[in-house]
Structure 1
Amino acid sequence: MRTTFMAKGHEVERKWLLVDAEGQTLGRLASEVATLLRGKHKPTFTPNVDTGDHVIIINAEKIQLTGNKLKDKKYYRHSGYTGSLKSRTALEMRTNYSTKMLELAIKGMLPKGPLGRQTAKKLHVFAGAEHTHAAQKPEAFELRG
């Protein structure tokens, strides 16, 4: 009788992948990166174990949005106090907080819970072409499409 392979946390081999966001569409990039972070691209994927790779994203300031989303899409945040709802357009976010914009899109596609929070720690986003993880020797990763 065959049994299904279930990976253990200490057995997982994690790679460092480098993704260039220049000219990429926000949602399409975010969904593929979320897959890499969870480890669903590996044959050893196990839903209850963090099997994903570290992902470094460069050129986050050059991400694209389709249609009129740059001026129509809004990002909201609330401190918890009455009347403290703040909003920014996608254009303001891309100009001033491009890394946060990409992080929010990717984290929204990860599980909500302890494993999702642990998975999100393996995401490293940089606005420009330079990153601080050269010592990890990341492999360039080409996205589909």
Structure 2
Amino acid sequence: MATPEAAEKATTRRNPNKGFVATKEEAAAARAWWVIDASGKSLGRLASAVAHVLRGKHKPTFSPHLDAGDFVVVVNADKVRLTGNKLDQKLYSHHSGIPGGFKQESYRHLMERKPEFPVEKAVKGMLPKNVLGREMFTKLKVYATPDHPHAAQKPQVLEIK
């Protein structure tokens, strides 16, 4: 029968030579909800801060192989700012897979049509390109207006400078 101290050491898996390594259960247990107002924020700086929180790098228990990040709700995505001439010069391209199915659209038209998409695309590009990154991306909720359906989770306001 192990003592309570030994059981605690076994769950946190501390190695004095390697530092702290969180378990999957520990990482999932401490998830918080954050709400970020995107109005007037630069798209790249906003996406970088959101990706940082989604990965869990703001926590002292960060482990690169685990999804230890928090949930992030971005509101006012239609008021995000693109600097310079990016609204007209930056193009979103996609292909339907059939011959002649290549489409390009400026970010000005994309913001009018789907204002949430540029924020989602920018954040997704800053996450890992594997299963772990896809899991992290599911914790991102983006809304064009200040209203969101996540009030029951009591999200805290996260200020981005």
Interval of TM-score (by shorter of Structure 1 and Structure 2)? over 0.9
Aligned mates of 1:80, 1:108 — CA distance in 2: 22
Aligned equivalent of 1:8: 23
Unmatched segments (≥5 aa) in structure 2: 1-14
Residue 128 in structure 1 maps to residue 145 in structure 2: yes
Aligned mates of 1:21, 1:9 — CA distance in 2: 31
Match of 1:66 among 69, 73, 83: 83
When Rg is computed on C-alpha atoms for both structures, the one with the higher figure is 2
Structure 1 position 96, deviation (Å): 1.3
**Size of the alignment, in residue pairs?**
144
The structure with higher relative contact order (CA 8 Å, sep 6+) is 1
Aligned mates of 2:23, 2:51 — CA distance in 1: 20
Aligned mates of 1:68, 1:119 — CA distance in 2: 31
Matches within 5 A, 1:17-96: 17-96=34-113
Q: TM-score, normalized by length of structure 1?
A: 0.97
Unmatched segments (≥5 aa) in structure 1: none
Structure 1 position 18, deviation (Å): 0.4
Give the RMSD, CA atoms, in angstroms: 0.9
Structure 1 position 81, deviation (Å): 1.2
Structure 1 position 117, deviation (Å): 0.3
* Sequence identity (%): 48
Aligned mates of 1:89, 1:16 — CA distance in 2: 32
Moved over 4 A (4+): none
Structure 1 position 15, deviation (Å): 0.2
Q: TM-score, normalized by length of structure 2?
A: 0.87
